[in-house]
Structure 1
């Protein structure tokens, strides 16, 4: 088998592996490249395969980010946590900012709903309890403004009762 045949075979197997992964869920380009690297494929093979998958629109970073943001919002996570997770996956910061800005979500209300689900209708009556609830929301990725909104929102305003 010649080197050209070996490279074509390697690229074909890498493409099959990548398509199998993409058939299960969306991936960021860097995330998919890491999976291919762990399988032992070389940089040139990986770049060629990923470029071709982007041409075919099997691999689409915009679609991945939009889906990722939507699922994390549905889980009640805040924008800071969503942003951090996408950065870990190698997604461009500008793309992340656009996706979060267009997420059709009021993160203050989302934080208030998360607080209400976790701690009930009663608002915190002590400084310690307020700090505990604020820590919970911060760990979920909400900003200080979102936390303030959540702690000041009456549960009746959320329509969750």
Structure 2
């Protein structure tokens, strides 16, 4: 219990992450489950709070697709993920990231592909990426 509280005092952990961190220090997995249940009961560990914290910290740099994948890999359930990503505006975040990284419309097809790959790798949906680059092209033409 002391080790779990010490870990949680530094940052939020998902239940699965905390279980993995505590596993080498416990003789019985049931003991860890009991500790995790008590932590959840006291509201010291919460997957909802973890999901919100991760989404908030990565919101400007990652799209909703990548955030959802990261949360799934940490053991957060689908409903909690949907709730955490509810207020995310992919279009605004993608525009901001594109402006910060590139700032100018792509000059040719190769540059456009490079910019699209960059934004897609950050987890932005393809339709959002196309819209941001189309807006950039229109503002460049004007």
Same fold per superposition (TM over 0.5):
yes
CA shift for structure 1 position 41: 3.9
| In 1: Cα distance, 2:129 partner to 2:120 partner | 7
Runs of at least 5 residues in structure 1 that lack an aligned partner in the other structure: 1-14
The alignment covers a number of residue pairs equal to: 138
Partner residue in 1 for 2:133: 151
* 1:3 aligned partner: none
Question: CA offset at residue 110 of structure 1?
Answer: 0.9
Residue 91 of structure 1 aligns to a residue whose secondary structure is coil
1:59-78 alignment, distance < 5 Å: 59-74=45-60, 76-78=61-63
In the TM superposition, what whole-angstrom CA distance separates every residue of 1:31-60 from its partner, at most 9, and x where no partner exists? 100001132442110010000001111011
Structure 2 unaligned blocks of 5 or more: none
Q: Which has the larger radius of gyration?
A: 1
- 133-142 or 34-43: bigger deviation: 34-43
RMSD of aligned alpha carbons: 1.6
Alpha-carbon distance change, 41 to 68 in structure 1, aligned in 2, over 3 angstroms:
farther
Q: Report matched runs for 1:15-54 at 5 Å.
A: 15-54=1-40
Offset at residue 19 of structure 1 (A): 0.1
Change (3 A) 1:152 1:82: same
Q: 1:112 and 1:41, CA in 2 relative to 1: closer, same or farther beyond 3 A?
A: farther
Partner of 1:91: 76
Give the ranges of 4+ consecutive aligned residues of structure 1 lying more than 3 Å apart after TM superposition.
none
In the TM superposition, residue 154 of structure 1 has moved relative to its aligned partner by 4.2
Please report the TM-score for the alignment, with normalisation by the length of structure 1.
Answer: 0.80
Whether the 8 Å contact between 1:65 and 1:99 is mirrored in structure 2 is: yes
